[in-house]
């Protein structure tokens, strides 16, 4: 009998985000806006992984169309997105870098117009796909790092 | 409807047309005296500026138009907390075209997204100052006869100087431009210009600390002021402000046809004795600034 095994049940419809960098699942939870949805979410932290040593996993029971998963491409393109329907993996989504990100990250440039006009959306544009560089649409300040 | 936010908003072909128009204006200003009759330019300057605002106003008056606006944030509704978006919506009802200067970077872009009239970025913080770049390009084109095949030295504050960054971005689109950067260690060209602009486009450049070490190679020398307002530490500013002073002695090392440009205002980086040198063209540059703004206003108002 395995005493330290944690069982999280299968989900019928939703998605499983696998290969999240260990310790970062709560950030993903927040960036996807899962706190605003009335659905079942399982957050698994520090699961054993052959590939990564340790990893986090998020299981979300909801209509997959409710969430914009494109943002995951920006956050970490190594995350595996399994879309679940009728209890089985329906598809594995390939993550790409979104060309535009709105209200996910904030411009930190104190000279940017967004620093004084609070109602403006924080928009970042992909300016160099090869280097994954995003710049603020207004002041062109480079966004350095997500995590 | 078009706006001008960045000097790269216009292709080199579009710039050629704009500069051709500016040259026609220079050759025969009388012909353009009534082109903007009945039109109004709003100059919305949220921070003080002498040259740029007066240059825009002069340009519009030369075209027969009128000007309204404000010259600092304290005399605008911004002091009451009005947003740029709301101000430009209001200005759109009063004027046909707007030139906006704002200390916050990206403010003119916000204005252009809400405006019902063409918006010109007249400078936004340390970000862009496209009409200065157009002025620089027109000056070089008019006085050198070309926008290619030359070595340009950029001297002074290359770290914070937005005119320098904009000019580099604009010049790399022309063939065979060689850059020489002359600055103290603390004010060197930023990494993003080095990596994302120069290296990425395989543009050759050299860096020097002493002006005397490269003066003889230059076809153009673009001097800049060390800007006090970009320093958080006054002692650092005082230490660096007099690092370069271009004087008659240094000018002896320069080519006979080298041109000296400067976006102005100058503090003391160019000695007054150099003003008499025929190679000093920074005051002619001011005049070209008016011509290029006249051409720009006509182009954006579709009066060409």
Contact assessment for residue B181 and residue B207, using Cβ atoms and an 8 Å cutoff: yes
Handedness of CA B238, B243, B245, B246 (dihedral sign): negative
Mean pLDDT within B159-165:
87
The pLDDT confidence band at residue A1, using thresholds 50, 70 and 90, is very low
Contact call for B85 and A117, based on CB within 8 A: yes
Q: What is the pLDDT of residues A8-31, one digit of tens each?
A: 778 889 999 999 999 999 989 988
Q: What is the β-pairing status of strands B40-45 and B97-102?
A: parallel
Closest by Cα among A76, A7, A21 to A51: A21
The reply to whether B102 belongs to the active site is: no
List, in order of start, the domains of chain A with CATH numbers. 14-93 (3.30.70.140), 100-143 (2.30.30.20)
Q: Concatenate the DSSP letters of all residues of B114-168 into one string.
A: H-SS-EEEEEETTTB-HHHHHHHHHHHHHHHS-SSSEEEEEES-TTT-HHHHHHH
| pLDDT above 90: residue A96 | no
Mean pLDDT within B138-162:
94
Contacts of B127 in chain A (CB under 8 A): 111, 139-140
Place of tokens 């003119």: B108
ipTM of the complex: 0.86
Q: Which of A116, A141, A142 sits opposite B104 (nearest CB)?
A: A116
List, in order of start, the domains of chain B with CATH numbers. 7-128+289-300 (3.40.50.1370), 131-285 (3.40.50.1370)
Contacts of A91 (CB under 8 A, 6+ apart): A82, A83
Contact assessment for residue B154 and residue B164, using Cβ atoms and an 8 Å cutoff: yes
Place of tokens 């995350």: A79
Q: What is the mean pLDDT of chain B?
A: 93
Residue of B43, B52, B133, B151 marked active site: B52
Q: What is the mean pLDDT of chain A?
A: 87
Task: Give me the pLDDT at residue B170, please.
Answer: 96
Among A6-20, A44-58, B166-180, B249-263, which is the least confidently predicted range?
A6-20
The alpha-carbon gap from B121 to the nearest alpha carbon of chain A, in Å, equals: 12
The Cα-based distances of B290 to B18, B78, B173, B222 in angstroms read 13, 28, 24, 19
Cβ neighbour number for residue B144 with a 10 Å cutoff: 16
Percent pLDDT > 90 in chain A is 44
Between A103 and B13, where is the model more confident?
B13
Contact call for A111 and B103, based on CB within 8 A: yes
Select the residue from A112, A126, A130, A138 to test the B interface by mutation, using most B Cβ atoms within 10 A: A138
Geometric angle at alpha carbon A61, from A56 and A66, rounded to 5° = 105
Contact assessment for residue A100 and residue A93, using Cβ atoms and an 8 Å cutoff: no
Task: Give me the pLDDT at residue A73, please.
Answer: 85
Contact call for B105 and A112, based on CB within 8 A: yes
φ, ψ (nearest 5 deg) of residue B4: -125, 110
- The pTM for the full model equals 0.87
Among A66-75, A123-132, B190-199, which is the least confidently predicted range?
A66-75
Q: Which of A111, A128, A142 sits opposite B125 (nearest CB)?
A: A111
Contacts of A42 (CB under 8 A, 6+ apart): A8, A57, A58, A59, A60
- Burial pattern B59-70, b for ≥16 Cβ within 10 A else e, equals bbbbbebebebb
Task: Give me the pLDDT at residue A4, please.
Answer: 56
């Amino acid at each position: 009998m395995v005493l330290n095994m944690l069982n999280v049940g299968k989900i019928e419809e939703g998605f499983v985000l696998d290969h999240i960098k260990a310790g970062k699942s709560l950030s993903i939870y927040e960036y996807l806006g899962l706190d605003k949805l009335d659905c079942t979410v399982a957050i698994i932290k520090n699961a054993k992984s052959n590939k990564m040593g340790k990893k986090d996993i998020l299981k979300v029971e909801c209509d997959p169309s409710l969430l914009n998963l494109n943002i995951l491409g920006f956050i970490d393109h190594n995350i595996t997105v399994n879309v679940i329907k009728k209890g089985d993996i329906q598809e594995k989504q390939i993550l790409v870098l979104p060309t535009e990100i709105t209200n996910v990250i904030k411009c930190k440039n104190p000279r940017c117009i967004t620093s004084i006009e609070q109602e403006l959306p924080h928009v970042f544009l992909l300016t160099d796909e090869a280097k994954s560089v995003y710049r603020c649409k207004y002041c062109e300040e480079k966004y350095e790092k997500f995590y | 409807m078009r706006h001008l936010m960045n000097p790269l908003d216009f292709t080199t072909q579009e710039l050629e047309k704009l500069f051709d128009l500016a040259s026609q204006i220079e050759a025969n200003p009388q012909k353009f005296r009534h082109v903007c009759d009945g039109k109004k330019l709003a100059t919305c300057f949220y921070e003080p500026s002498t040259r740029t605002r007066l240059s825009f106003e002069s340009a519009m008056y030369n075209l027969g138009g009128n000007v309204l606006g404000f010259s600092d944030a304290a005399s605008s509704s911004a002091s009451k907390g009005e947003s740029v978006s709301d101000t430009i919506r209001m200005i759109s009802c009063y004027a046909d075209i707007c030139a906006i200067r704002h200390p916050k970077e990206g403010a003119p872009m916000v204005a252009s997204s809400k405006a019902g009239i063409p918006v010109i970025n007249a400078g936004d913080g340390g970000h862009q100052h496209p009409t200065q770049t157009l002025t620089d390009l027109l000056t070089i084109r008019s006085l050198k006869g070309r926008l290619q095949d030359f070595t340009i030295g950029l001297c002074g504050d290359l770290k914070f100087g937005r005119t320098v960054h904009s000019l580099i971005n604009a010049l790399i689109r022309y063939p065979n431009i060689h850059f020489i950067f002359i600055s103290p260690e603390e004010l060197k060209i930023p990494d993003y210009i080095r990596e994302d602009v120069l290296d990425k486009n395989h543009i050759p450049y050299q860096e020097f600390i002493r002006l005397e070490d490269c003066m003889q190679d230059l076809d153009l020398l673009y001097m800049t002021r060390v800007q006090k307002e970009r320093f958080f530490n006054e002692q650092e500013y005082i230490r660096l402000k007099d690092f370069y002073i271009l004087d008659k002695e240094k000018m002896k090392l320069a080519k006979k046809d080298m041109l000296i440009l400067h976006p102005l205002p100058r503090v003391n980086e160019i000695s007054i004795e150099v003003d008499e040198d025929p190679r000093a063209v920074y005051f002619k540059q001011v005049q070209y600034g008016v011509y290029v703004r006249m051409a720009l206003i006509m182009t954006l108002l579709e009066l060409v």
